[in-house]
Chain A
Amino acid sequence: MQKVLFKRLFSKLWRDPVWRGVLFQTGLILAIVLVGYQIIQNTLHNLETRGISTGFGFLSESAGFGIIQSLIEYDESFSFGRTFVVGLLNTLLVSSFGVVLATLLGFLIGVASLSSNWLLTRLADAYVECFRNIPLLLQIFFWYFAVLGVLPSPRESLAWGDWLFLNVRGVYIPKPELAGETSVFYGSFLFAFLVIASLVWAGRQYRRQTGRTLPWIKSLFLLGIVAIPLVAGWVSGVRLGWELPVQGRFNLSGGLTLIPELVALFLALSIYTAAFIAEVVRAGIQSVSKGQREAAAALGLREGRILKLVVVPQAMRVIIPPMTNQYLNLIKNSSLATAIGYPDLVSVFAGTTLNQTGQAIEVIAMTMAVYLLISLTVSLFMNAYNRYMAMVER
């Protein structure tokens, strides 16, 4: 009797999709945890039997090797943990510059490919077809070896007065130097930012209430961001000086140096990704129905304003998700840096540090975790932006 009852109950539960779902999902989670545990145990066991040191203690040991470009203070006496940060910042530097240029270039070319000007359209198409079909690595090599590699030696630099030099070792520009009470100067930047933010807010309120825009407001922004720090600096006695690059025995020294590895990687990444972004933008604009354009034209709007106020805002909803992918690709592709020796995360940390310490598993795990984190952050921001841009249904 009891058995039959149990059987009935079981078959009833079995047919219930909710219960069945719970059952399978618990099973799957258990399986994943078990496999994961097995992998970790096995790895630790393997490492131990082979006499390989494990753990993250190496991060505090002194690195002992130099890095050509670092955004924070670094020399050979700093730790392996520091090389990680130096590499990470270098990756972020080239990626963020790359994202900005790729977006600008991509938008321009995307819009140009839909222009009514025959030549402009053909040029935009040629750009897209050309750059998206050549492997990125080749493009990096092209910029590095074929374009930057043929520049003159440091002793015969191309010079622009005594403040801009160009040679095979990079671009040398003066470095701005502030002297005096710099905190006042930086504080005034913050102040200027607050002033402008409130101006923007006030301008928006005004537009909402009256339907008119204030034509002078834009010039006010510019004035604010330039004038406030200038005045503050002048009053507090902060002076701006320039450290000029000077010819040393071997190289130019002093000033700021853009190393050719950075320039080559930056150009290749942005030019390559811009081709894809251009296609995304073109598709986005084409997705906006022709009627919208015609309706806007019927209201008397000019071509530029139609694009800015009617077409692009609607196209953005289609553009943002694939654009996020392009940004992520660009960031991940920056790891090709290692091919030309730009000191990015992969080259400095997953390369040199890994080899000097031999801690392959820890180093690779950290590197992968960082890329994952960067990618997730970017996609979080882009998704938030996407929600903000999404059509608000009324």
Chain B
Amino acid sequence: MAVTCLLGVLAGNATSANAASTLEAVKEKGFLTCGVNTGLPGFSSPDEKGHWTGMDVDVCRAVAAATLGNAEKVRFIPLTAKERFTALQSGEIDLLSRNTTWTLTRDATLGLNFAGVAYYDGQGFMVKKSLGVSSAKELSGAAVCIQSGTTTELNLADYFRMGGMKYDPVVFDTSDAVAKGFDAGRCDVMTSDQSQLYALRLRLSRPAEAIVLPEIISKEPLGPLVRQGDDQWFNIVKWSLSAMINAEELGLSSANIDSKKMSKDPAIKRFLGMDGTKGSGMDLSDDWAWQIVRQVGNYGEVFDRNVGMASPLKIERGLNSLWSNGGIMYAPPFR
């Protein structure tokens, strides 16, 4: 996979992949290609019918709804942590929405841009109850299962080094293999972003016997990425995400948006494309934001049904609540 992507970079013509605009390319194809996780419940995983669901998946659908007017016109490309950046760089995907942490190196040296934060996360540890550990500070000498090529891997090394502790890194390619290794007893600890730990716990043979330790050792702002050099496309992805957050703030949801069309509220009128800048600056139709909310839902709906209380993961909103609700989820206004 990495190698085929590499060939794309080697042989591909600069003008074709960077095509005058990604938007045009997407419209011409008639679908969006979106890189997602190979399988992480709550963020991106296919159900029995092969239909992808999850928060990351819904970001892809929102962009498809905004650009093509149809949230179903997405082709999902499952990628491992190791494959994801090359796939985006080489033009194999239009958008990477795969629980990826926004870091300086990634933003500055990979030729990529982060279009915002879709989920505020932090790295945690999971152990089996039988181990009798109650804090990450007691983990010196433990074997730790971890996914290769992630920021998690680097934070882990820093954390143990700072604490003067030793560990054996047991490194796997996919989060699924990490869970399997933990389940089989190859390691004492599984470390990852906390949201992932909850998701992976569902995969264990006895989920009730695993606990998440209280320590959070890093900031992990997760969000979608695009290639550098196409500002229009960058804006589209950035504002698709903003639209979902703003919709929640404005009290617009997939259930009530049609009834709000008659609303007198100027903010809602601007949002629905009946007033103001509309979609013209991004070459989108005027009702692009309306399409996102109607077909995918607002941020709160997406959170609830995928990872929140309406899902098996039951993760608290916490940091991911709206700023007006005690969280830090904040999007620039539609004006």
Chain A 72-94 against B: per-residue CB contact (8 Å), 1 yes, 0 no?
Answer: 00011100000000000000000
Query: What are the interface flags for A204-218 relative to B under an 8 Å C-beta threshold, 1 for contact and 0 otherwise?
Result: 000000000000000
Instruction: Flag if B18 contacts A50 (CB, 8 Å).
Output: yes
Distance in angstroms between the alpha carbons of A248 and B131 in the assembled complex? 13
Per-residue CB proximity of B157-187 to A under 8 Å, as 1/0? 1101100000111111100010001001110
Distance in Å: Cβ of A131 to nearest Cβ of chain B: 25
Given contacts A46-B9, A49-B14, A168-B184, contact A358 B109 (CB under 8 A): yes
Which A290-346 residues have C-beta < 8 A from chain B? 338-339, 341, 343
Option from A75, A251, A339, A364 in Cβ contact (under 8 Å) with B6:
A364
**Chain B residues whose CB sits within 8 angstroms of the CB of A248 once the complex forms:** 141
Asked whether A51 and B157 contact (CB < 8 A) given A168-B186, A253-B141, A341-B177, the answer is: no
Write the nearest CB–CB distance from B18 to chain A, whole angstroms. Answer: 6
Which of A49, A53, A339, A352 is B149 in contact with, Cβ under 8 Å? A352
Q: Is the CB of B228 closer than 8 A to any CB of chain A?
A: yes
Q: How far is the CB of A338 from chain B (nearest CB, A)?
A: 6
Chain B interface residue bracket vs A: 35 or more
A250: chain B residues within 8 A (beta carbon): 131, 139, 141-143, 188
Q: Is the CB of A42 within 8 A of B172?
A: no
**Is A191 interfacial (CB 8 A cutoff)?**
no
Is A42 touching B148 in the complex (CB atoms < 8 A)? no
Given contacts A50-B227, A68-B169, contact A43 B10 (CB under 8 A): yes
Contact with B along A198-230 (1 / 0, CB 8 A): 000000000000000000000000000000000
Asked whether A168 lies within 8 Å of B109 as measured between CB atoms, the reply is no
Residue B153 is within 8 A (CB to CB) of chain A in the complex: yes
Q: Which residues of B contact A39 (CB under 8 A)?
A: 10-11
B150 proximity list for chain A (CB < 8 A): 355
> Are A361 and B85 within 8 A (Cβ)?
no
A residues in contact with B171, CB < 8 Å: 67-68, 341, 343, 347, 352
Q: How many inter-chain residue pairs (CB < 8 Å) link A and B?
A: 142
A180 within 8 A of B: no
Q: Enumerate chain A residues within 8 angstroms of B12, measured Cβ to Cβ.
A: 46
Docked Cα-Cα span, A355 to B172, in Å, equals 14
A360 to B229, CA, bound (A): 19
B10 proximity list for chain A (CB < 8 A): 39, 42-43, 361
CB of B106 within 8 A of chain A? yes
A50 nearest in chain B by CB position: B111
Measured CB to CB, the nearest residue on chain A to B140 is A249
With A46-B9, A64-B158, A356-B154 in contact, do A339 and B148 touch (Cβ < 8 Å)?
no
The minimal Cβ–Cβ distance linking B26 to chain A, given in whole angstroms, is: 18
Cα(A144)–Cα(B267), bound, Å: 59
B138 to chain A, nearest CB (A): 8
State whether A355 and B89 are in contact (beta carbons under 8 Å apart), knowing that A49-B18, A51-B111 are contacts in the complex. Answer: no
- Top 5 A-B residue pairs of the complex, sorted by shortest distance between their CB atoms: A355-B149, A52-B111, A76-B157, A51-B111, A66-B169
A-side residues, CB < 8 A to B, are 39, 42-43, 45-47, 49-53, 64-68, 75-77, 145, 149, 153-154, 168-169, 248-251, 253, 260, 338-339, 341, 343, 347, 350-352, 354-358, 360-361, 364
Residues of B within 8 A of A (CB): 2-3, 5-6, 9-14, 17-18, 81-82, 85-86, 89, 105-106, 109-111, 131, 138-143, 148-150, 153-154, 156-158, 160-161, 167-173, 177, 181, 184-186, 188, 227-229
